[in-house]
Amino acid sequence: MIIGALQKTSLIDYPGEICAIVFTVGCNFRCPYCHNPELVTGNIRSIDKEDLFDFLKKRAGKLSAVSITGGEPTLHSDLADFIKEMRLLGYEKIKLDTNGTNPKALEELIQERLVNYIAMDIKAPLNRYGAVTGCGYDIECIKKSIDIIKDSHLDYEFRTTVIDGFVGKEDVVLIADLIKGAKAYYIQRFIPSKTLNESFLSKRSISNEELDEIRQKIGKMFDIFEIR
């Protein structure tokens, strides 16, 4: 496991919990709007795993959960062992962020009861995944991950980042149909800060009017639907 960063405290990443966020290095997507480009490219100084666990050990009881994000955590073959070590420190609530390209890893983590909450990014409608992620992709892997998560009986959410002229209202409507019946779907406004492709620094989220139209069209398809 290559750890690129640690956010020591978050009140918003794991709903209802005070968590630390662990950022893994490496991703199999090249989304141009990615706000963690150094984790994608590996151009970052890694954090020693022992230092991380020393921190978590000291904070046990004050932090109630750990969120693992990236990059793409499921690229790491030792992810399950990594989580087991955190559980030995008393962290019983683990959240995983994923792009859904590794359904086998998701299935194993769920079966071993190593994760409690899964957040999967749905980047685009299936027919646009290649254009949005900048990579070849396996539609069946994405579809299988969606089904695994929906059938898992865990807390979970799906989410999509919207960007004017790149991922818009029509895309979100198609995604909603893909994941209909899901517990929770969140639309995330794109806020440029740092991006993998610097040209995306000049882009913005879709308009509030379009977001309202999305809410009216698909909001009732999910138990929880929110725009962040």
pLDDT tens digits along 48-97: 999 999 999 999 999 999 999 999 999 999 999 999 999 999 999 999 99
Name the superfamily (CATH) of residues 3-227: Aldolase class I (3.20.20.70)
Other beta carbons within 10 angstroms of residue 19's beta carbon come to 26
Tell me, what's the pLDDT at 138? 85
Nearest of 189, 181, 192, 186 to residue 221 by alpha carbon: 181
| pTM of the predicted model as reported, rounded to 2 decimal places | 0.96
- Cβ atoms of residues 178 and 147 within 8 Å: no
pLDDT at 43 over 90: no
CA pair distance 197, 161, nearest whole angstrom: 16
Q: What residue type is assigned to position 194 of the chain?
A: K
H helical segments located in the chain: 37-41, 49-59, 79-88, 103-111, 129-133, 139-150, 169-178, 208-218
pLDDT at 137 over 80: no
Domain boundaries, the chain: 3-227
Nearest of 189, 157, 96, 168 to residue 125 by alpha carbon: 168
Question: Token match 């029509």: residue?
Answer: 170
pLDDT tens figures, 191-206: 999 999 999 999 999 9
